[in-house]
Structure 1
Amino acid sequence: MLLQWFAEGTDPDEALLAFRRLSEDLGESHWYLRMLRDSSGAAKRMTQVFSTSRLATSLFERMPEAAAWFDREEELVPQKLEQLQLQFQAIISRHEDPESAANSIKAIRRKETLRVAIGFVVGSLDLDATSRGLSDLTEAYLVSMQELATSSMLAKIGNLSHELLIVAMGRFGGAELVFGSDADVMFVYKPTVTDVNIAQSEAQELVSEIRRLCSDQILEFELDLDLRPEGKNGPIVRSIDSYASYYGRWAGTWESQALLRARVISGEGSVKDEFVSLIDRYRYPEKMESSAVIEIRRIKARVEVERLPLGADPMRHLKLGRGSISDVEWLVQLLQLKHGYSNLNLQTPHTLQALEELEKAGIVQASDAIVLKQAWQLSSAIRSALMLAQNKRTDVLPTDRQQLESVARLLEYPRGGAGALEQDYLATTRRARAVFEKLFYD
C-alpha cells in the first residue's frame, strides 16, 4: 500500500527519498516500525506529506521524531498563544545565557511550524486554524526574543531608558498569517528619562538585538518594518511623541489604512493605551472627507499599475491581482475608515471579522460578502499551499501543471484537479472583482 500511496502523490520520487531518509533515522525505533505495521491512517498521512510538501519534508530531516504525530491526529492541533508563552518562558527561566535560550526557542518554533504544516497538508486544519496557529507562534516567538534582548541590555547597562512596544501590522496584526507571510511590525517606545537622545539610542540598540536574535538560518524568520512612517527611509523605532508628530503633520489615507490592522502585542499597559489612543484618531476618523475617499481610490489604482511585478498576469496574481487579496482588503478597509467611528464592531484588525460586521450592519449585502470572503480565503489558501509545496515564496497562481496539481492536492482537490482549481480561482476572483468595483467606486 505504501508504494501505491507514494505513486498517487504529485512527487513520488521525492516522497520515496524522504521516506528512506526517515526510515534510516528511525529504523531501530520500535514505535516507528509498529506505526507503519499497525496504522494505515498514519502511513497514509506520512506519504501524503512527503509527496506534496517540500517545506514539511525539509523540516522532517531535522526532526524525524515528529513522525509520531502521524499516528495521533490530535497531536496536529497547534499550540495556543498561552501554551507557547508558558513554554518559552520556561526556557528563558532555565537558561542564564540569552543565546542558548534563543536557540532552544528557535528549535521549538521549527517544531511547531512543522506541526501546523502537517495539519494543513493532511486536512486536519483549515485556513483559519492554520493562520491562528502561525500567528500565535510568531507572536510568542517575537515577544520572547524581546524579553531575551531586554535581559541582555539590562545585564550591560543596568537600567533601560524606555518602554518598548511591538505593534503587529498587516496580516500579522490581523492574526491572518499563512505559510510564506512576513511578520509586519512597528517598534514604538516611550522614554523614561529626560534625555530623549539616550532613549532613542537604546531603543535602536534593543530593536537591533531583537532582530538579530529572531534571525534563523534553518527556518527563515522575516521581520518587515516597511509599514512604519516613511517606510524604508524612516528610523526603525520611534517614540510615541515622534509618531504623534509625524501623524499630526503627514498622516494621509495610506497611513490611516495601514493602522487599521495595528495590534500591540507587547509592552506596558499604560504605554500601550497611550499609543492605541493616538492611532485610533487616524484609523477611526469621526468623518471621512470625500477628498480622502478620492485619494484612497487614486492610490489603489496606482498600486495596481506600479506594484504588480513586470510581466505578471493580473488575473493570476494572488496578492495584487484582480479580485484577489488586495481588492478585498482595500474595500474592507475603505468601509472601516468610513464607518468605524460610529460602529465599534468595525474596530477590528481582522479582515473577515470586519467583513462580517459590515454585512451585519447592512453596509455590504450578504451575497457580496460571501463572494469577497471566498476570494480572500481561496487566494490566501493558495499562497500558503504554494509555500508548503515548493518551500519558496511566490504570489502567482502557477501555469505549470505539476505545480498547480500539487497545490490542488493540498487544497483537497481530487487527483487531476489542477484544471478545476485554476477555473475555480479565475471564476471566484472574477466575481470578487465585480463586487469590488461596484462598492469601492460607489
Structure 2
Amino acid sequence: LDAALAVARARVGADADKVRLAVVAMGKCGGHELNYVSDVDVIFAHEAADGVGDDVSLRVATQLASNLIQVCSAHTGEGTIWPVDAALRPEGKAGALSRTIAGHVGYYERWASTWEFQALLKARPAAGDLALGRAYVDAVNPFVWKAAERDGFVSDTQKMRRRVIAHIPSREADRELKLGAGGLRDVEFAVQLLQLVHGRTDTGIRQPTTLSALAALTRSGYVGREDGEAMHEAYAFLRRMEHRLQLYRLRRTHVVPDDEESLRWLARSLGYLRDPVVRLEKEWGHQRIEVRRLHEKLFYRPLLDAVARIPSGQAHLSAKAAEERLTALGYADPKAALRHLEALTTGVSRRAALQRALLPVMLEWLSEGSDPDAGLFGFRRISDALGATPWYLRSLRDEGLVAQHFATILSTSRYTTALLEREPEALRLLGHDLAPLSAEALTDEMVARAARRR
C-alpha cells in the first residue's frame, strides 16, 4: 500500500503535497489475517495542507486514492492477488472515495448502520500519513464502543447474519466454508458481538484479530476456558482449510469442492494421507457442528452461570455483565429477566438441569421476537405449571422444531401464550408445520374430527 501510494504521488505530481492522506486497513487486512488471495479492504482519510481549500484537497485525495487502487490492481493484471477495495467507506461505493476526519465523524454520528461499527473493530492505520490514520481511529473508536447501546442493535446484527446466510446459493450452502452455518463467520460474529457488548467498559478485550480477541475474552471470563480452546481449535482448522483451498489454483473462493480430485488435493495438503477425503469430510463436519454449538452457547449460557452459580467450566459473568448482555439481546427489563432465569435454573433437580440445557438456545429464539421480556416470562409461567410433566421438557429438548415454534409464539403473542397456559397439551402440535391450512384441507380436518367424536 505504501509503495502504491508512492507511485500514485509520482503520477499526481506537485499537487500531491497539497493533502495528507491516510490509508486505514479494515477487515482481514486490519486484523493481520489476510488470505493468499484476499481483498484488501481500506478506508481513506485526508486533511488539507496549510492554505489549501477543501475542494482542492478532496480532488487531490481522490486522485491519490484512485491511483493507489489502480496501481495495486494493475500489478498482476486481471488476476490480481490482493485487489484494494474501498467499499467499506461511508455510503459504500456511492460515497466519496476519501473524507476528512470531520466528514467521517459526521457520517458515523448521523447515518451509519450497526454493521459499520462492527467493521470498525478491525480498523488500523496501515499506510500513508500514519499520524493522521491514528487520529482517524481515535475519532471513530467512541462510536464503536457505543454501538451496543443503539436502538435496534440486536435486530440489526441478527438481520445482517440472516441476510448473509439467505444470499448463499442453495447448491453451495452445505459447502460454504466462510459464510455458511458453522463456518468462519459464525466464530467471528460471536467474538465481535461479545466485544461490542463488554468492550464498552473492558478495554482489555478490544483486540482487532479474531484469535487474540477470543483469547482476551477467555482470560477475562466472558468465555469459558474449555469453550475458548474449542473455538480456537475450530477457527484455526477452518482458516487452514480456507488457506489451502485458495492456494489450489490461486482462486478467491470459500466453496469447498465436491469432486474427488480436488478434495483429495485439499485433504492431502492438510496432512491427511490415509483415506484423505473421508478423514477431511469427517473432521470438517465435526468442526462445523462444534462451531455452531459454541456460537449459540457463548453468548447465552454464561447468563445462566451468573444467576445459578453452576459448578462448571463456563464463564462466570457478574450480575452487571449479565444485565448488559441481556440488554444487548433486546430485553427491556434485564433485572426481571435475570430473576426469571434464576427461578428456572437454580437447584439440582432434573427439571432445573433440563432448563439449563434448553435456555441458551431458547434465549436466542426469544430475543428474535418482538417482546423477549414477555416471552421469557411466559416460558417461566408455563414451565412452572408443566415442569413436572414428563413429556413437556422432553419434547422441548428432543424436538427442536417444538422449542423454536414455542419461543416464537411466546415472544410474539401474549394472547396465544395465555391460550397455551390454559391448553398446554396444544404444545404437542408445535412439532408440525404451522402454515395455515387451505379451505379444502381445513374442511377435511373438521370432517375427520367430527367422525372421531361420533
Give TM-score, length-normalised by structure 2.
Answer: 0.62
> What is the distance in 2 between the residues matched to 1:437 and 1:246?
33
Confirm or deny: 8 A CA contact 2:124 2:134 kept in the other structure: no
Shift of 1:287: 6.0
Report the AA paired with residue 181 of structure 1. S
Could you give the per-residue CA deviations for residues 59-99 of structure 1, whole angstroms, max 9, x where no partner exists?
Answer: xxxxxxxxxxxxxxxxxxxxxxxxxxxxxxxxxxxxxxxxx
> What is the distance in 1 between the residues matched to 2:265 and 2:184?
21
Q: What residue in structure 2 maps to residue 178 of structure 1?
A: 35
Q: What residue in structure 2 maps to residue 217 of structure 1?
A: 76
Q: What residue in structure 2 maps to residue 247 of structure 1?
A: 108
Could you give the per-residue CA deviations for residues 358-388 of structure 1, whole angstroms, max 9, x where no partner exists?
Answer: 0001101122222222222222212211121
Could you give the per-residue CA deviations for residues 384-407 of structure 1, whole angstroms, max 9, x where no partner exists?
Answer: 111212222221122112111111
What does 1:11-410 correspond to in 2, within 5 Å?
142-153=1-12, 156-157=13-14, 160-192=17-49, 193-214=51-72, 215-217=74-76, 220=80, 221-285=82-146, 288-289=149-150, 291-306=152-167, 308-313=168-173, 315-410=174-269
Confirm or deny: 8 A CA contact 1:288 1:337 kept in the other structure: no
Shift of 1:253: 1.6
Shift of 1:147: 2.0
Report the AA paired with residue 258 of structure 2. T
Confirm or deny: 8 A CA contact 2:205 2:213 kept in the other structure: yes
Report the AA paired with residue 404 of structure 1. L
Between 1 and 2, higher relative CO (CA 8 Å, sep ≥ 6) is seen in 1
Where 2:43 maps in the other structure, the secondary structure is strand
Report the AA paired with residue 209 of structure 1. N
> What is the distance in 2 between the residues matched to 1:368 and 1:422?
23
Report the AA paired with residue 87 of structure 2. D
Shift of 1:293: 2.6
Q: Which runs of 4+ in 1 moved over 6 A?
A: none
Confirm or deny: 8 A CA contact 2:35 2:243 kept in the other structure: yes
Shift of 1:263: 1.1
Report the AA paired with residue 417 of structure 1. P
Q: What residue in structure 2 maps to residue 43 of structure 1?
A: none
- Larger-gyration structure (1/2): 2
Report the AA paired with residue 236 of structure 1. L
> What is the distance in 2 between the residues matched to 1:397 and 1:325?
13
Q: What residue in structure 2 maps to residue 105 of structure 1?
A: none
Shift of 1:323: 1.4
> What is the distance in 2 between the residues matched to 1:393 and 1:377?
19
Report the AA paired with residue 302 of structure 1. R
Could you give the per-residue CA deviations for residues 81-125 of structure 1, whole angstroms, max 9, x where no partner exists?
Answer: xxxxxxxxxxxxxxxxxxxxxxxxxxxxxxxxxxxxxxxxxxxxx
> What is the distance in 1 between the residues matched to 2:54 and 2:292?
48
> Percent of aligned pairs with the same residue?
33
Shift of 1:269: 4.7
> What is the distance in 2 between the residues matched to 1:348 and 1:429?
25
CA shift in 2, pair 1:404/1:202, >3 Å: same
Report the AA paired with residue 53 of structure 2. D
Could you give the per-residue CA deviations for residues 201-259 of structure 1, whole angstroms, max 9, x where no partner exists?
Answer: 10111112112222223562311222112222222222212111110101232111000
Confirm or deny: 8 A CA contact 2:144 2:196 kept in the other structure: yes
> What is the distance in 1 between the residues matched to 2:129 and 2:253?
37
> What is the distance in 2 between the residues matched to 1:286 and 1:208?
31
CA shift in 2, pair 1:366/1:249, >3 Å: same
Paired residues in the alignment total: 297
Shift of 1:152: 3.4
> What is the distance in 2 between the residues matched to 1:389 and 1:323?
23
Shift of 1:158: 5.1
Structure 1 window deviating more from structure 2 (382-391 vs 358-367): it is: 382-391
Report the AA paired with residue 311 of structure 1. R
Report the AA paired with residue 269 of structure 2. L
Could you give the per-residue CA deviations for residues 174-218 of structure 1, whole angstroms, max 9, x where no partner exists?
Answer: 101122211111111112245111111101111121122222235
Of 292, 296, 313, the residue aligned with 1:437 is: 296
Q: Once superposed, what is the RMSD of the aligned Cα atoms?
A: 2.0
> What is the distance in 1 between the residues matched to 2:125 and 2:208?
11
CA shift in 2, pair 1:327/1:194, >3 Å: same
Where 2:17 maps in the other structure, the secondary structure is coil
CA shift in 2, pair 1:239/1:399, >3 Å: same
Could you give the per-residue CA deviations for residues 311-365 of structure 1, whole angstroms, max 9, x where no partner exists?
Answer: 322x321110111111011111111111113222212110000000000011011
> What is the distance in 1 between the residues matched to 2:128 and 2:189?
29
> What is the distance in 2 between the residues matched to 1:437 and 1:160?
52
Report the AA paired with residue 139 of structure 2. L
Give TM-score, length-normalised by structure 1.
Answer: 0.63
Confirm or deny: 8 A CA contact 1:398 1:404 kept in the other structure: yes
Report the AA paired with residue 390 of structure 1. R
Give the unaligned 5+ runs of structure 1: 1-141
Q: What residue in structure 2 maps to residue 416 of structure 1?
A: 275
> What is the distance in 1 between the residues matched to 2:15 and 2:276?
61
CA shift in 2, pair 1:158/1:326, >3 Å: closer
Where 1:242 maps in the other structure, the secondary structure is helix
Where 1:312 maps in the other structure, the secondary structure is helix
Shift of 1:267: 3.6
